[in-house]
Chain A
Amino acid sequence: MSLVEDVADYIESKLSAWEVDTNLFMSDEPNDSPDKCLVVRIVPGSRDTESMLKMRSVQIIVKNIAPVTCEEDAEEVYNLLANKPGFDGISNVFYCESTNAPFPVDQDDRGRWVFVFTLLFKKL
């Protein structure tokens, strides 16, 4: 399975508010997505080190009509993953480093608030 699938499944297994293909999407968001939704996707910023350590940047986008709820949702997912070692079900990942904490980007074309953060997964 790809890293994006692994991360999405991990969030679904740990947080009951998110369900894959219902309000938790991989790589892209469908046009008819619910007002509260989350997208996991790979973004530029990955590299392999000389010691074969793989670093992969994963961006999490959280959307909601209510800005406070949106921030809370983003913080909940961030606290689940950021700066934590080892994850059940995400193969070979031994650490997840935070590149930046959740911050509001803008409102999207449907008026939903958008909070975003990026994580750096370190895997063998």
Chain B
Amino acid sequence: MPKISIEGDTEHLKAKFATHKLWFQKGLKAGLEVAMVQFMDDCINTVPRCPQKTGAMAASHSVFVGSKLVATSEGMVTVVNSSRRKEKRVPTPATTVPGGAGGWMLTGTLVVNKPYAVPVHEGIAGRYPAKNYTLPGSGPKWVSSKLIAYGDKYLKLMASAVRKMK
């Protein structure tokens, strides 16, 4: 059985690969930051929107890439303070990632830093009146539904950032 053997010098490719790997990583990180900010914006402003009564929860979203705080929603929402239980009607966006930054993996994290956020997100009428979404267009699953509906858009934003970095 005849055999064909091919030999090549890949040293120059290795150097190029190392450079390309660097800008790819940089582009991916920059793209994820853009995508996470867009994701947070969609959560608050696109139907189903984040429920707002006083705006304190809507203004308590934070997005992180790794352990870096990229943005908070504090400036995106007007908070209406109520005279009743005023101390609880303030935005409290997280400034650190709960549970770590994901180790070596590049991770994007969105935190809604209010204790009642989970039952309201799931639309469960528990101790909180979660079924009463007073803001028109607001509703349950304002975070997870955006990943299903706009997941492709976020990937395209990341791809676009990688291309620009090249």
Contacts and interface: CB of A to CB of B under 8 A. Distances in A.
A50 to B, nearest CB: 10
Contacts of B126: 105-109, 114
Contacts, number: 61
Contacts of A43: 123, 140-141, 145
Interface in B117-145: 118-119, 122-128, 139-142, 144-145
B144 A109 contact: no
B148 A108 contact: no
Query: Size range of the interface on B?
Result: 10 to 19
Interface string B93-125: 000000000000000000000000011001111
Interface residue SS majority, chain A: strand
A70 to B, nearest CB: 13
Given A108-B126, A109-B126, A114-B124, A47 B149 contact: yes
Interface in A54-108: 55, 57, 59, 61, 99-100, 105-108
A116 B122 contact: yes
A105 B124 contact: yes
Interface of B: 48, 118-119, 122-128, 139-142, 144-145, 147-149
5 contacts: A43-B123, A45-B141, A47-B149, A57-B145, A109-B126
Among A44, A100, A109, A114, chain B packs the most CB atoms within 10 A around the CB of: A44
Interface residues of A, number: 20
Q: Determine chain B's interface SS by DSSP, over half rule.
A: loop
Nearest to B151: A47
A108 B145 CA distance: 24
| Among B128, B140, B142, B145: residue with most chain A CB under 10 A | B145
A45 B145 contact: yes
Given A57-B141, A100-B144, A114-B119, 12 more contacts: A43-B145, A44-B140, A45-B141, A57-B144, A59-B123, A61-B124, A105-B126, A106-B124, A106-B126, A109-B126, A109-B127, A114-B124
A45 B123 contact: no
Given A105-B122, A116-B122, A45 B127 contact: no
Contacts of A109: 125-127
Most A-side CB within 10 Å, residue of B118, B124, B139: B124
Contacts of B144: 45, 57, 99-100, 118
